[in-house]
Chains A and B, each alone.
Chain A
Amino acid sequence: MPERVNYWGIPHEWGPPELYVYTIMFLAGFIMLFRFYKQASLWWKVGRPEPRWDKLHIRFWKFIQYAIVQTKVLNERYPGVMHVTIAWAYFIFFLGTALATIHDHFFEFLFGNALFAYKFVLDIFTVVFLVGAGMAIYRRYAQKPKRLTLDPGFTRSLVMVTVIVIGGLLTESFRLAVDQPAWAWSSPAGWIVAQLWIAIGASDTSLINWHLGIWTFHLLTVAGTIITLPVGTLLHGLTGPLNMFFAKLDRPTGELAPIPLTAAGDQVFASKLSDLTWKQLLDGDACTECGRCQDACPAYAAGTPLNPKELILSIRDALRADAAAVIGGNGDTPDSPTLVGDKIKEEVLWSCTTCGACVDVCPVLIEHVDTIVDMRRYLVMEGAIDAELQGALANLGRYGNSFGKSDRMRARWAKGVDPKIKDAGREPVDYLWFVGDYASYSPTLTEITQQTADVFQKADLDFGILYKGENHAGNDVRRVGEEGLFEMLVEKNLKALSRSDFKTIVTTDPHSYNALKHEYASNGNGEWHVLHYSQLLDQLIASGQIKFSKKLGYKVTYHDPCYLGRYNGIYDAPRRVIEATGCEIVEMPRNRDKGLCCGAGGGRIWMEEGEVTERPSESRIHEAVALNGVDIFVVACPKDITMYADAVKTTGQEENIVVKDLIELVHEAM
């Protein structure tokens, strides 16, 4: 009966092999943990406390989903397969080693069929690993994607993990070449390599000597890899899973945290390392430098100074460079190293559209946008904002809208609407229509806003608006970092809303939708049911309240607004509405959660543009016109009308594509 042979061919003259193998491995493990602790302790020594220990069952599930199964890693095919083959192989090798230890010392079970299965699985994963390593070599030296960090540190790691596996395979092959047991087929990879030694006619003595040499080398490379793990690029194997485990669970992605307070109750604005939480510092150490965020970032693609990957790595590098000074200087001396304005430039922070694409694609769940907004909050407190943004914020503070127009003019668009739209502040309505700034004030949108009213009226919807009681919802004010102004706007809107009698809020603006849905509830006064108009239209069509008299028959494409799609997962309702009007949707390559930002979010629409190579909105229009036969670009966000109408002009595509709001299709088909 086949049985597992321990320390085959290892001379016992030096004492029992267990003794020095375990001594070396325990020492390596100890050094590794010590070094890791040294690095990890910086997170809480430098960073501020933040509770992330709640809902442990969900945290464990996240760990399994993202660290073990690696679903996010697998979202991209080539790098996904490349990474999981390497990672899963190592999980199996680790498990195999653990099982062998159990077999040796606690419970013997590796014989007969169990041993065959054990050997077979480990051998297969050796091959699986080699496939992954081959893909990694090809990616790093042939494909060389721009987003990848081609640093020698990564090469060292790849060499180390490959040498370990090849060492194991060779060790096995020498043993099999000497023993040539009847069950050698259960280690197919090892057996194939063994054929080579048999073929060249190596003597048993040579094979046993080679075996000893390679076995020792294998042992030492494993120990060396473990020892260097916390100081090399393999660190992500520890920090990545930790980052997933401690990912935020207390709020949806669409809700930002309020300004944090110190124990003494002072507000913290993030300008230095010590203003960040331990989790934000962990984000830096968890970054694998895969560059997916860089690929997904509209600001990076537009040629702005922002690269989300570099931003997160700046935090990591700052921690490594300045942690000692921060800890030594208690962190708060005037000359303690700064982060914002120094290692992270202001224009980098202002370039972000808060579209959330980086957060969405990050395989280790780094929370870029929250950190960017934290740092913007500091800049706002310092008054370090550009003139255009300053003007917009001053207008928002004074008039409740960014246009700098009188609040009495907010419902001017409704003047021509007949019958007159109810004032939800005066009479009860089923639906309170929160119109939003752009739909209310932008002259180019007046007709669309009026059409929305017309559709609601034709559908016999009992609705009203707040007239001058409505203020900007504050979504992007908050994302600019002007938290005080955001709170003021929320107070004003809550006052108007609390005086109104309604069942549901409906808005055409995804930004208002996001704020009203996620960021007003936490500001007291209960929760409302909030609908985006695409959802309401979808319901009205399903219930038969909206009936269409014709099929439009257009071939269109649909642009997912960030705050509707990625932030709130509403992808299907607008598409169903478009299809109900008899249009055919041709998807752009970047659709749904991969939808490209128009470039206006996060307050970017109020800021000076700065230098760009190609605006995100222009890139989007190019993407749309490349589709076969599509001549309508459908949007479901008032700002998108402005952004894309401009982009169509600047790209000179007026002849090829026209931008339409969802409501225009519905209105036309009714």
Chain B
Amino acid sequence: MTHILVTAKLVPDLVEELEIAESGTALDMTWLRLIINEFDDHAIEQAIILKERSGCEVTVIAPDQEGMDDVLFTAAAKGADRIIKLVGDFEEGVNNHALARTLAASTKEIGPDLILTGVQGNDDFDGSVGPYLAEYLGMTYVGYVAGVTLEGDKAIVHKEYPGGLIAELEVTLPAVLGIQAAEQPPRYVAVSKVRQMMKEASIDEVDVLDLDPSGGLEISSMYLPEAAERAEMLDGDEEEIAARLVEIFKEIGVV
């Protein structure tokens, strides 16, 4: 039976106004509310769809962040067979290099055939988790995937390109897929089902001692977007606008 591992993380919930911490290099966590990364939610949904379709085993793994238990129990209520929490110093946020290294270490022990992760997250400063994870595991990575079918030790994936192009790729497992969208929107799980899971299911905990963020970005300053009138609207027909654009590019020295 194909074993699918889904990695998930929580990202800042944008219904709250974001504030910059005193350090000036990070968001103020005291005012932050976290929500599951939308793309990871789709990755979980895609895994459950595959389970329903092909009888896979689904494991969801995620770092310990405030509210993660609810997310994991919700995944269990949807049909995840095993839920794992990485317990370590995640509260202040870690970069994706560190997260991917930690996930890679656990993944080696779990030994899944297919790894699904959200293609991106709104707090990806240093690139997204999927490619790093694939790199650390030495696996193939395909991103922007919207649709997966399993055929033996292969996965047929639909990868979305800009401009409405879709490629059908055959990937030999094991592989990491960055999910753009599940085949159907993430399903609703009744609150009582989640509560039931809280009583019945248990979260496996894996201790993470070291977090290695090397290779990531060093944030020197973070600030809210400033309102400014910098936009200049170009009038005229296509020829005129193109000519003016080239002029501007020359002025600012990009061409």
Chain A positions near chain B (C-beta within 8 angstroms)? 259, 267, 380-381, 383, 385, 387, 390, 393-394, 397-399, 404-406, 408, 482-485, 487-488
Contacts and interface: CB of A to CB of B under 8 A. Distances in A.
A257 to B, nearest CB: 15
B30 interface: no
A328 B35 CA distance: 49
A406 B191 contact: no
B236 interface: no
A276 to B, nearest CB: 20
B15 A380 contact: no
B15 A482 contact: no
Q: 4 shortest A-B CB distances, which residue pairs?
A: A484-B192, A484-B191, A485-B191, A390-B188
Interface in B48-104: none
B42 to A, nearest CB: 14
A398 B189 CA distance: 13
B191 A488 contact: yes
Contacts of B194: 484
A383 B35 contact: no
B16 interface: yes
Q: Which of A259, A390, A404, A484 has the most CB of B within 10 A?
A: A484
26 contacts: A381-B190, A381-B192, A381-B193, A383-B187, A383-B190, A387-B185, A390-B185, A390-B188, A393-B188, A397-B191, A398-B35, A399-B15, A406-B16, A406-B33, A482-B190, A482-B191, A483-B190, A484-B190, A484-B191, A484-B192, A484-B193, A484-B195, A485-B191, A487-B191, A487-B192, A488-B191
Nearest to B35: A398
Interface in B177-226: 185, 187-195
Q: Describe B's contact surface by its main secondary structure.
A: loop
Contacts of B191: 397, 482, 484-485, 487-488
A380 B190 contact: yes
B188 to A, nearest CB: 4
B33 A485 contact: no
Contacts of A398: 35
A350 to B, nearest CB: 14
Contacts of B189: 383
A259 B15 CA distance: 33
Interface string B155-195: 00000000000000000000000000000010111111111
Contacts, number: 41
A405 B33 CA distance: 12
A258 to B, nearest CB: 11
Contacts of B192: 259, 267, 381, 483-484, 487
Interface in B101-121: none
Nearest to A398: B35
Interface residues on B, range: 10 to 19
A380 B194 CA distance: 13
Given A398-B35, A406-B33, A485 B15 contact: no
B28 to A, nearest CB: 14
A394 B188 contact: yes
A403 to B, nearest CB: 9
Interface string B16-35: 10000000000000000101
A385 B193 CA distance: 15
Q: Which residue, of B15, B185, B191, B195, has the highest number of chain A Cβ atoms within 10 A?
A: B191
A405 B190 contact: no
B240 to A, nearest CB: 42
Contacts of A485: 190-191
B188 A383 contact: yes
Nearest to B185: A387
Most chain A beta carbons < 10 A, residue from B33, B190, B193, B194:
B190
Given A383-B189, A406-B16, A484-B195, 13 more contacts: A259-B192, A381-B192, A383-B190, A385-B188, A393-B188, A398-B35, A406-B15, A484-B191, A484-B192, A484-B193, A485-B191, A487-B192, A488-B191
A389 to B, nearest CB: 8
A405 B188 contact: no
Contacts of A408: 16
A406 B189 CA distance: 22
A373 to B, nearest CB: 14
Nearest to A381: B190
Nearest to B78: A383
Contacts of B187: 383
Contacts of A405: 15
B191 to A, nearest CB: 3
A564 to B, nearest CB: 28
A138 B188 CA distance: 52
Contacts of B15: 399, 404-406
A479 B148 CA distance: 37
Contacts of A397: 191
A632 B33 CA distance: 44
Nearest to A382: B190
Contacts of B33: 406
A385 B191 CA distance: 14
Contacts of B185: 387, 390
A490 to B, nearest CB: 12
A488 B190 CA distance: 11
Contacts of B195: 484
A488 B193 CA distance: 12
Contacts of B190: 380-381, 383, 482-485
B17 to A, nearest CB: 8
